[in-house]
Structure 1
């Protein structure tokens, strides 16, 4: 048995009462590293996904995850800021944080800042200074400013000297195979600054379970946090959680916290845990049925001579195309992000094209990967004069 297959200890509460409830199969280890040719894409490295459920705290994680298989470089492309809908979300979130915590002329640190879009927004809207850490940062993607500094590296103890009035971590914690150690490292860096605010955003596993959003499951995500498991994790790592809520139409969890003098109680809510166990069991029963239903639907579309594309060349699209193994039934993935266009989906090999391509290709069916973008996509499709049927994956 390899070392990845032996990961059966919960990363949140350290319990070994973990049971595998969904064997998702093999998927590209990098959903957001795209390829220059179809041949390269088809040769992308794959990894196993076997989701485990902790019977003590309710945390969900990939028991087959191997952190050594993940390499974050400048080729990693996960920016959502080309979407007007997402831009509105990011701007409203930035304004909310700035106004709530009086972040004007303050110091902001962002761990896992990507290409720097959100940190630049926080700087612009509040005249703040910023330092961003990310191994995937690309200097040519951001305008130069004296107020914001980017460090192309993963955050670690060596950067503890950087202090901030707010520390941001958005869509990062789920990638880390030792999340408690990461938070403890961050806590040491904060030191005695009890006024520092920590803001953490992660995908909401309850949305995945509740909506049977199986395309949210990707290899890069080691952890799948619920409000209960992330709250317990932060408390045990030395933080006092002051706010925790769903955002982005329920798809994200947003947590706000401050440093606590010492780790806090990590007791579980038994009534919630028993309820969530039933939800997870229901998801387990329905998972393979949804995959099969989509295979049948795509075969039916192809049998009638109709063309179909997916809209969304990010992680959901990669998950969808690889899980269904439908080579030949779908040739293109549409994405509004120009840095993805002309590249190829890892594992399945579809070419990523711009929305304008559809004016020529004229698909009969567009399969939308994320329902949050339905209005945006519908508007673009109608502007092109297309009468394509839009389905939600």
Structure 2
């Protein structure tokens, strides 16, 4: 096994989850179809040279992103606030006024629309899962969407800023996106590049284990993320943690300067290596703790719901095999409501249903959303016990 980022032949497998849903964010309209959804194995390997983590059992043929793929987080006020702050910072820091912006993997287009509204910019978004939305129509003269993957076919599209959020981790070899992107930019060395990915340190050091999903074939710490970009002709200006440490944000510019590789990141990779060495033991302990908690809830006859039917919620429900313990998953996203969770088959319902259901326990799969959920339920005079995963 060879590391796709640094070429080291010493990838070390350290963790496995078998028969997991290949799509956490695909919508299933029937419960039995959700339970019978396609599944695949996750076998994670670590590169001790650059810190890259990859699923060596990943099979890209199992995946195909369509308009039924729904991973938008923009219905959460907490996430909207973060995304708007991020867009504002990019526009102000890089003086993006009356400029051209490309977003690769734009999802449903909310972030690109914000960037263009804030600076009166022109935008092009690429994503096969994009669905035209009426609320975007006021911007249709400034923003266009291409329902396709970004590739060499679109290198004629040029921009002052190229953004890509939560897409790189879906590509087995990062160079398959970064190298064509660098070629497409050519000699426009003033082009800014902004990428956002999940933070591997949050997953493997802070045990945010529910972020491990089949769609994510790559996991980046800052060391491996920087190496991936410098290897493809970019000069990295900054890498920072955002959203409570859950995300890594990288800013870079293209360069023609020769690649200079150093061992500056050695200490960080060694520290991550120690986390990896103890991860499986800590993961199993965390799962066992939750099994005990849920057994107590069931024994007490309490009604429990999971709040959040995205990747974290789907992984939590599937790892703990909660088909018969939890009836509902709650989600603010109206496109998910009425659908069913991949693998375990819980019905995804709107928050309003809780007024009648009156759960005793709410399991919050992302602690950053706990406060907004508490406030919403309290407004209906509901005060269940809260547990954050």
Does residue 185 of the first structure (1) align with residue 176 of the second (2)? no
The answer to whether the Cα contact below 8 Å between 1:12 and 1:232 also exists between their aligned partners in 2 is yes
8 Å contact from structure 1 (residues 239, 263) kept in 2 = no
Q: Identify which range, 16-25 or 72-81, moves more after superposition.
A: 16-25
Q: Say which of 234, 239, 242 aligns to 1:247.
A: 242
Aligned counterpart, 2:157: 162
Is the alpha carbon distance of 1:267 and 1:284 closer, same or farther for their aligned partners in structure 2, counting shifts above 3 Å? farther
CA distance in 1, matches of 2:257, 2:344: 48
Q: CA deviation at 1:181?
A: 2.4
Does 1:175 find its partner at 2:170? yes
Q: Does residue 346 in structure 1 map to residue 342 in structure 2?
A: yes
Aligned residue among 208, 211, 221 for 2:216? 221
Supply the distance in 2 between the matched residues of 1:143 and 1:181 (Cα, whole angstroms).
31
| The one of 271, 275, 282 aligned to 1:275 | 271
Partner of 1:5 in structure 2? none
Q: Does 1:369 align with 2:361?
A: no
Which residue in 2 is equivalent to 1:4? none
**Is the Cα contact below 8 Å between 2:234 and 2:252 reproduced in 1?**
yes
1:39 aligns with 2:32: yes
SS at match of 2:27: coil
Report SS of the residue matched to 2:107. coil
TM-score between the two structures when normalised by the length of structure 2: 0.97
CA distance in 2, matches of 1:377, 1:247: 21
RMSD of aligned C-alpha atoms?
1.0
| Count, aligned residues | 386
| Residue equivalent to 1:103 | 96
Encode CA deviations 1:285-331: one digit per residue, 9 max, x unaligned.
21111112212211110111001100000010000011111221001
Q: Where do residues 1-393 of structure 1 align in structure 2 (5 Å cutoff)?
A: 8-140=1-133, 142-144=135-137, 145-262=140-257, 264-268=259-263, 269-393=265-389
**What is the TM-score normalised by the length of structure 1?**
0.96
Measure the CA separation in 1 of the matches of 2:261 and 2:218: 18
Q: Which moved more, 1:47-56 or 1:290-299?
A: 290-299
Distance in 2 separating the partners of 1:10 and 1:309: 40
Note if contact 2:48-2:270 (Cα within 8 Å) is conserved in structure 1.
Answer: no
Matches of 2:258 and 2:354 in 1, distance apart? 54
Q: Using the alignment, how far apart are the partners of 2:54 and 2:215 within structure 1?
A: 11
**CA drift at 1:170:** 0.3
Identify which range, 18-27 or 170-179, moves more after superposition. Answer: 18-27
d(CA) in 2 for partners of 1:297 and 1:141? 44
Query: 2 CA distance for matches of 1:381 and 1:141?
Result: 30
